[in-house]
Amino acid sequence: MELLSRRSVLGAAAGAATLATVGSAGPAGAHEESRGTPHRVPREQISVQLYTLRDQLNIDLAGSLAELKRIGFTRIEHAGFVGRTAAQFRAALDAAGIKATSGHVGIPQPFDANVWEQALHDANVVGNKYIVHPFFGIDSATGQPIRDGAKYRAMARDLNRAGAMARRAGIDFGYHNHNLEFTRQDGGSRTGYDILTAETDPGLVHLEVDLFWAWVGAADPVDLIAKHRGRIRQVHVKDLNTARSFEDAGSGLIDFGRIFQHTREAGIAEFIIERDDAGTPPRTPADALTTARNGFQYLDNLRF
């Protein structure tokens, strides 16, 4: 994952509509699961996206992984191998007693089967169950959000190709959203996300919903769950503050409990802590470990 891609998205988010609420409103009733006995997030399904700790990992990979294990994490989602080979990165994870169940790896554009085959090989070396394409939505020629549905349809075809190859390699392939996919296409009402989800095979491409970016894109995650039942295998648990920027999970505006009441309906198997600006000044690299700790504790104590 290129850091500049994430940072360019932060700038694009400034143009999104201000949200009046991010949790108290929205559809319920028929979409909600039983509210009898309170549910919890299984501790073994809590993960952290290592993009959150990118600067801290460069300072001390072994020490950072060891601290994540002390916090309680048993799994992570990687975003590259911190300058190591796949085998070296796997060795560091093994030494810490942590599994990389998921990883963000962009499919090559234009699509190159040989390049993707190598990425899948590395994913198997690291031990990934899931591999996820992390970003789409900016027109490379203009730097503006894509508004041409044909480009989304072309991307959907490539995602299907990548997913078919991943399935043959024994890996589940997914797509991770930001906010730009919710831009309307071709002057109509259909969004880029509508196109991607309609024109990819659910058996080949699952969804990893970033809850922060969905809200910034004016998409209620509960609505997404209702529309894509059983297809949302992973979620990024990232909170939103009153300045419409990032916050540690549980300290911002998003009502995660309301969303997670639909866990079974969605099909969620991983709850992945992330904060895009962790380690970015004025925050320090060490702040990322605090974010990871706060996120784990929040999810571990959440009842819904």
Q: Which residues contact residue 67 at a Cβ distance below 8 angstroms, ignoring those fewer than 6 apart?
A: 289
Length of the chain: 304
Determine how many CB atoms are found less than 10 A away from the CB of residue 160.
17
Which residue has better confidence, 2 or 164? Answer: 164
pLDDT digits (tens, 9 = 90+) for 232-277: 999 999 999 999 999 999 999 999 999 999 999 999 999 999 999 9
Q: For residue 245, what pLDDT is reported?
A: 97
Supply the pLDDT for residue 36: 73
User: In a 3-state reduction of DSSP, which class is residue 143?
Assistant: coil
pLDDT, one tens digit per residue, over 133-154 is: 999 999 999 999 999 999 999 9
DSSP 66-131: HHHHHHT--EEEESS-TTS-HHHHHHHHHHHT-EEEEEE-PPPSS--HHHHHHHHHHHHHHT-SEE
Determine the distance from the C-alpha atom of residue 86 to the mean position of all C-alpha atoms in its chain, rounded to a whole number. 21
Rounded Cα–Cα distance for residues 280 and 55 (Å): 8
Per-residue pLDDT of 169-205, as tens digits, reads: 999 999 999 999 999 999 999 999 999 999 999 999 9
**pLDDT given for residue 279 in this prediction:** 84
Residue-level pLDDT at 35: 59
Edge-to-edge strand list for the sheet holding 206-210: 46-48, 270-273, 232-237, 206-210, 172-176, 130-133, 99-104, 75-78
Domains contained in the chain, CATH given: 3-7+45-301 (3.20.20.150)
Sign of CA dihedral 259, 261, 267, 269: positive
pLDDT digits (tens, 9 = 90+) for 25-78: 444 334 444 457 899 999 999 999 999 999 999 999 999 999 999 999 999 999
Q: What is the pLDDT of residue 269?
A: 98
* Residue given tokens 């234009």 in the structure block: 110
- Residue 289's nearest CA partner among 98, 92, 66 is 66
Contacts of 64 (CB under 8 A, 6+ apart): 53, 56, 57, 289
Q: Is the dihedral of CA 285, 290, 296, 302 positive or negative?
A: negative
Q: Give the pTM.
A: 0.90
d(CA 13, CA 7): 10
Alpha helices, DSSP H, located in the chain: 3-13, 54-59, 61-71, 86-96, 113-126, 149-168, 192-199, 211-216, 221-227, 256-260, 263-266, 285-301
